[in-house]
A = this chain, B = another copy of it.
């Protein structure tokens, strides 16, 4: 059987995460180097990889935490009253993911399915997001604010698709003066959720 981890191990893991967070703070996600993390944490490289499957595994924890924090903010308060309000609620998430390609890539790679076991932080966050969206959509359907001819689950996954779409487009251009993802999302959601007249 598997024993409980020793205190030393927990401390090492915490130290690694703390250092990684600090580096991300200073240099952004794309500036994170494994060698820097272990150097500043005062451990060997192998140690990091005994705590996290690979670099993505470390990033997943950092990013997953942030996504969870964003979801907390999303969930707070009443559900959105209409499609526009729903769109607005998604803006913080788009802003966060839109800030660095690394985030987008990681989320896309590890969170595309609702089916997987939720041992990973990212997958858990993903499931939570879809669940929340589904709940909101159900409310909006009942209120007659959006189309009722489709399952809320399908509508929720469609929203996921549009979120990723606008982010993908966003990262494909030198985004200096272009429309930010949050703004680009509106027409898609409007067309997707529009009540069948």
Contact = CB atoms under 8 A, between A and B. Distances in A.
Given A113-B169, A172-B113, A173-B116, A191 B158 contact: yes
A187 B154 contact: yes
Provide the main secondary structure of the chain A interface: helix
A164 B164 CA distance: 9
Contact of A161 (B111, B112, B115, B161): B161
Given A154-B187, A158-B162, A112 B171 contact: yes
Given A164-B165, A164-B168, A197-B196, A154 B112 contact: no
Contacts of A112: 168-172
A67 B161 CA distance: 22
- Select the residue from A110, A116, A169 with max chain B CB neighbours within 10 A: A169
Contact of A192 (B110, B158, B172): B158
A110 to B, nearest CB: 7
Nearest to A195: B196
A150 B193 CA distance: 13
Counting contact residues on chain A (CB < 8 A from B), the size range is: 20 to 34
Nearest to A165: B161
A82 interface: no
A66 interface: no
Nearest to A169: B112
Contacts of A196: 194, 196-197
A188 B153 CA distance: 11
Interface in A157-197: 157-158, 160-162, 164-165, 168-173, 187-188, 191-192, 194, 196-197
Interface string A64-81: 000000000000000000
A111 B172 contact: yes
Interface of A: 108-113, 115-116, 149-150, 154-155, 157-158, 160-162, 164-165, 168-173, 187-188, 191-192, 194, 196-197
